[in-house]
A and B are shown apart, each in its own frame.
Chain A
């Protein structure tokens, strides 16, 4: 089964674009698709995918970083997809901390990012963009040509190796073209021996474990102090 990991900031247009790409993969390539959506608290994406005949599961990470949650579950997800005889499994996750990324070595890594997020965003969002194979830029229909060009340039600076392409999540312009890249995704029977493209931050301080009170007495584990001088 082919595996594609898709990440991008909240509301960048991930679901809209994936629905459009799925449409061509289903129609032209006759692929049987599955999507697993990772989020923190709630999501209504499931319904949208299911309406298009895509087998869907949702993983809610609650008080964990969704990407940490993702990586602890991805093997089971893969097994689930193989079990259901899917041709391609796509995972959608919203990168919340900008420091984690779900991209796995060898699996097609896609980052979806929108033109409205500002030109400094490509440098800020870190590994989920920097280590992607494909960067899809959305919402190009509502900004000027100049802003599109500058934004794409900033993405190129942040990730010099990726294929950069534009897809309109509403009209589907560019989706057929982007779906050709999905067709190239590598196939997996299992994720044994695979690893993340990028280390997740060394977390686990007392706040990770549910502490809410403020003050040095309550800070334990991996604590880092700002330099305010």
Chain B
């Protein structure tokens, strides 16, 4: 095929040609072009023509792989191993797409290890001896290191954008690397959702590095929901930086993600369907969020909102000599 045709059919081929020191004439075929590269240039590249042809074919094959849609993940099953003292972990837990699971436990208890076991698709080959099944089956061993099958996406407090791009350029780039169809619709969906979560609006030509903390987090969540290939999303505490956490989680659930959250914030923890309690390296309890817990969540959220209002008052230079009735009602008499 001629270079021009290839570029039209497979725009990503540009990435292969752009790193070569010579630009191909669109009218020649790829083989003709590669055969025509001068010896001096080849020497600089340190490669022969045959290597280059091989690399081109391999490049195109790999890129086609990225395009292939992988079988959707409907469930993940954790089969227990043993705790740090060798006692059995008597657990067989199946988590389904669209579920939110919280992970709680003291420091050093093994929360990160559990998340790592899932990411690694452990088959009794980690310190915990756990087995992880995907869609009720032992996953293919080659998934472990394949970029297409990367099971887990992560979001945490410490993450920042580092690329020197505007919001729309950034999303464009992510979408292209995923080779999604209809890029424009996806990008506008991501931006609309992110703006809804963040409260304060940002425009598409804002550089990603100058977004506020809340805006960055909102964009990261919306982007992960729409554009990440990974079916499992790990959330390591999302701060209450003025973002609508409930809607953000709902979007992930709507996109059929499995959400795993390591958090000790009761408001986040109660948003989950279930809570795993980790102790001494094993899952020691599985709690299902009860109706009364959900009612309490509403109260906790109201309280949280009131505290947020006080913080905002402080931020905008107002005085704090009056507190909401409900906050006073809790403590007022005892303190005064």
Contact = CB atoms under 8 A, between A and B. Distances in A.
Contacts of A157: 12, 15-16, 59, 62-63
Given A160-B59, A177-B144, A150 B173 contact: yes
A198 interface: yes
Nearest to B179: A153
B297 interface: no
A161 B159 CA distance: 29
Given A149-B229, A202-B43, A144 B223 contact: yes
Contacts of B224: 145-146
Interface in B206-239: 216, 220, 223-224, 227-230
Interface in A35-81: none
A26 interface: no
Interface size class of B (residues with CB under 8 A): 35 or more
B46 interface: yes
A181 B178 CA distance: 27
B161 interface: yes
Interface of A: 115-116, 118-119, 123, 127, 140-147, 149-150, 152-154, 156-158, 160-161, 163-165, 171, 173-174, 176-177, 180-181, 198-199, 201-202
B61 interface: yes
Contacts of B163: 118-119, 147
A179 to B, nearest CB: 11
Contacts of A180: 125
Contacts of B153: 145, 149
Contact of B174 (A118, A146, A177, A198): A146
A180 B154 CA distance: 23
B75 interface: no
Interface of B: 12, 15-16, 18-19, 43, 46, 55, 58-59, 61-63, 66, 112, 116, 120, 125-127, 144-145, 147, 150, 153-156, 158-163, 170-171, 173-174, 177-178, 216, 220, 223-224, 227-230
A145 B155 contact: yes
Question: Interface on chain B toward A: helix, strand, loop, or mixed SS?
Answer: helix
A144 B46 contact: no
B145 A144 contact: no
B162 A171 contact: no
A141 B158 contact: yes
20 contacts: A143-B159, A144-B160, A144-B161, A145-B220, A147-B163, A149-B174, A150-B177, A153-B66, A157-B12, A157-B15, A157-B59, A157-B62, A160-B55, A160-B59, A160-B61, A176-B126, A176-B127, A177-B116, A177-B144, A202-B43
A24 to B, nearest CB: 10
A160 B62 contact: yes
B174 A150 contact: yes
A152 B147 contact: yes
A171 B223 contact: no
Nearest to B16: A157
Contacts of A174: 116
B143 to A, nearest CB: 12
B154 A145 contact: yes
A123 B17 CA distance: 11
Q: 5 nearest interchain CB pairs?
A: A153-B177, A163-B145, A160-B62, A160-B58, A146-B174
B260 to A, nearest CB: 14
A153 B173 CA distance: 11
